Structure 1
Amino acid sequence: MTATDHPRYPFPCQDVPVDGRRPADPMGLSALYDGLAPVSRVRLPEGHEAFLVTGHAECRRVLREQDTFQRAGADAIPPYPHTSPTMLALDGREHRAQRDLIGNAFAPARIDRYRPTVERLTSRLLDALVQAGDPIEVNEQLAMPLTLGVIGSAMGLPDDDLPLFRTWGDLFLSTGADRAADNERAMLEMTAYMAGRLGGLMSDVDPASEDVGLLSVIAANAVRRQTGLEEAALLAASVVIAGWETTAAAIGGFLFRLLTAREQGGDTLYRLLAAQPHRIPGAVEELLRTTPGTAFESAQPRRAAREVDLGGVRLRAGDLVIPAVDRANRDPDVFEDPEHIDFQRTPNHHLAFGGGPHVCLGAPLARLELTTALRELTRRFPDARLHHAPHDVVWNTATSIRHPVALWLDLAHQEPER
């Protein structure tokens, strides 16, 4: 088989979950995936050969074994965005040094410090929805201001500066062979901004300070570890981008799925959560498993550092490896009836936040934001519904993050008694 005979990846259609069970699949995307082995050769848009890893065990191994499957040399290969020099593109000692600057600020045991901010901002935004009246748009009126506001507050950034990060984030995450310069320019501008804010903090930092602001944490750790200003600023910029865009997209994607998928009795899954709020934590995990967060259904590619056997396929040193985490999250060998949304699925070892050294730092904060948003939305607006027909909802293709471009809802309700 020649390189041109291998399946082209990403596949020619993107799944849009309109029936709650199998995604809408007009071009046979599910059949293409179902026909693949856990590790299969594919061809990327510019002709690069790669190995697409769809098996859960194999995907988890790629994510965990950083010495064998490395980010070095695998960056900015279309359609994947240019992520260098952020920690997304780093391995080994350089990667650990970046992560160490944030310390354990996002550890599950410490995440409660952010809860009051998340709950207060969620409540304020939902109050504003009531005042605005139907229809409301989820991205602009809830998801983006919530997640960007939370990470901005956690970092100690001025509210007036937050729109800058929306612009930079869209540029940094834009995709296509011609967008590498935009990706790099956005990161350079964010890093320069953060250097301006960190410079004073690092010169005046108290090494014994217990300040919980993330910029102060980064500054203090940079001083302790004798890390340069540029490296500290790069980490701070990366944290802001990672801290809001994907979670904002998840809020929109989750709501679309909940408002279109139905349980056996006929009610939407959204109404189910409104009636049974104790299921919301499990719902968040299951929606993370079943609702793809990126346009490519995969994590950033890796390079095999040596010859290695993966899922019965022999890889050579230098081979490009793509961990397809969203498909691994549907591996029938791990998840019974994988296309079914089961809020009580236990265990639920999904890979939505990655794994190994590159596991998402902000996963506990993202879970807090998603859980709070769904809990308060379903409590206050139990009868919410889509304003447009599901097939009229347009999905983002401008960046690597998957979400509805605009998700309009009708709240049309009378709030339940508090």
Structure 2
Amino acid sequence: MDPLYTKLQEKEPVCRVQMPYGEQSWLAMGYRDVRTVLADPRFSLAAGRGRDEPRIRPRKLSEERSLMGMDPPELTRLRRLVARAFTPRRAQQLRPGIQKIADENVGHMTECGPPTDLVENFALPFSIAVICELLGVPYEDRHDFRNWVNAFVTASCLSEEETGERIARLVDYMAALIAERREKPADDLLSAMIQARDHHDRLTEGELLHLAAVLLVAGYETLANQIPNSVYLLLTHPEQLTFLRQRPERMPCAVDELLRYIPSGNAGALFPRYATENVLLGGCTVKAGDPVLISLHAANRDPLVFPDPHTLDLTRTPNPHLGFGYGAHTCLGAHLAKVEIEIALDTLLRRFPVLRMEPDADAVEWKKGMVLRGPSCMPVAW
């Protein structure tokens, strides 16, 4: 974490900031303040509609968001309609299929031989295959929607015209797929969402379309980053890696700590919440109408909640990290994402007992101009 966040947490945990675009905002970095912004109904996402939202790129995020622009009870209704597909029990039921995908991709890595790029030859194909299987997206279309998905998480690597065009193509693609599933339902999440009802209520066409697109983006991009991020942390913390190899049953606890140390995303820095009335936050008065951004990364390193917060400790308990958010917007797929990460890491460590990175530190290349942090290339050997 940038040392500036540590200094601000100590002296000014809620401060004024100016993003490259949009109006001035508050930034909350302390754990309790961040939880307040995420859960307190006095902070509204929907209130950002029509405002010059603080943002990192010219295009307004509200132009392409659905769930992330809603507040309860509207949000609660949509989540209720699809929540049954993301229960802990459902995530465990999907384990065999996810394990099969992991085994197939590790087999492909073995065929390629060392050194091989963990991102291109495991993390990306694994993430794509899992979300394709879950949603019911044809795997053969993976190269197309991989490019389209990047448009949602770009900060500066695409022009505004390219971003808009790719988002439009993804929306058109999902609309055609929904129409196809409506005619010929299958055993997948997309078909289940089309058929979902609750007391004669159901998703509208627009809600269905945007929700499917969001699930595709979140299920693919965040996982594709979190897997190599986690492997990088383990390989650069050999004592923690040794512990996990010796105690593989501690994998769920380890995944929580990896998510705390490097969250899979930071939607709070993208989607401002607007105060609907004056609120005292971190010793500051946030006035009605003021936007507030949050830093999940900083909150997860708050020393008031996490002892020795800058140390990776796979035995850390309790671990109330905010890697999947908090409150009404807690990630719908959190349970499934944890299962996927657990299976991916467990499979890699079992199949490659001496997994290591190339000795040249420059061999690991990091994504540039993107919202989410992660390697674009990570050569590993065994």
Task: Give me the TM-score of the superposition, normalised by structure 2.
Answer: 0.90
Q: Measure how far apart 1:76 and its partner are.
A: 5.8
The answer for the alignment partner of 1:82 in structure 2 is 61
Distance 1:236 1:291, change over 3 A: same
Residue 202 in structure 1 maps to residue 182 in structure 2: yes
Paired residues of 2:367 and 2:374 also in contact (CA < 8 A): yes
The SS at the match of 1:174 is coil
Residue 43 in structure 1 maps to residue 18 in structure 2: yes
Aligned amino acid, residue 278 of structure 1: E
Counterparts of 2:350 and 2:266, CA distance in 1 = 31
Q: Measure how far apart 1:291 and its partner are.
A: 1.4
Distance 1:181 1:142, change over 3 A: same
The SS at the match of 1:105 is helix
The answer for the alignment partner of 1:63 in structure 2 is 38
The answer for the alignment partner of 2:317 in structure 1 is 346
Residue 118 in structure 1 maps to residue 98 in structure 2: yes
Q: Measure how far apart 1:48 and its partner are.
A: 3.5
Equivalent residue in structure 2 for 1:147, among 102, 127, 131? 127
Paired residues of 1:195 and 1:233 also in contact (CA < 8 A): yes
Aligned amino acid, residue 208 of structure 2: A
The SS at the match of 2:84 is coil
Aligned amino acid, residue 38 of structure 1: P
Residue 167 in structure 1 maps to residue 142 in structure 2: no
> 5+ residue gaps in structure 2?
none
Q: Measure how far apart 1:276 and its partner are.
A: 2.2
The SS at the match of 1:335 is coil
Aligned amino acid, residue 219 of structure 1: I
Q: Which has the higher contact order (CA 8 A, sep 6+)?
A: 2
Counterparts of 2:74 and 2:142, CA distance in 1 = 28
Residue 233 in structure 1 maps to residue 203 in structure 2: no
Q: Measure how far apart 1:96 and its partner are.
A: 3.0
Paired residues of 2:278 and 2:288 also in contact (CA < 8 A): yes
Paired residues of 1:70 and 1:305 also in contact (CA < 8 A): no
Aligned amino acid, residue 105 of structure 2: L
Counterparts of 1:197 and 1:286, CA distance in 2 = 37
Distance 1:230 1:45, change over 3 A: closer
Q: Measure how far apart 1:180 and its partner are.
A: 5.0
The answer for the alignment partner of 2:279 in structure 1 is 308
The answer for the alignment partner of 1:22 in structure 2 is none
Deviations along 1:58-115, whole A, 9 cap, x unmatched?
Answer: 1011111244343531786321672533212222344334334423201112212211
The SS at the match of 1:370 is helix
The answer for the alignment partner of 1:257 in structure 2 is 233
Q: Measure how far apart 1:172 and its partner are.
A: 1.6
* Sequence identity percentage: 32
Distance 1:246 1:174, change over 3 A: same
Counterparts of 1:30 and 1:312, CA distance in 2 = 17
Deviations along 1:327-346, whole A, 9 cap, x unmatched?
Answer: 00011111111111111211
Distance 1:47 1:111, change over 3 A: closer
Equivalent residue in structure 2 for 1:158, among 129, 133, 138? 138
**Greater share of residues in helix:** 2
Residue 215 in structure 1 maps to residue 186 in structure 2: no
Q: Number of residue pairs matched?
A: 376
Distance 1:181 1:303, change over 3 A: farther
Counterparts of 2:44 and 2:206, CA distance in 1 = 27
Paired residues of 1:54 and 1:323 also in contact (CA < 8 A): yes
The SS at the match of 1:255 is helix
Counterparts of 2:149 and 2:281, CA distance in 1 = 34
Q: Measure how far apart 1:314 and its partner are.
A: 0.3
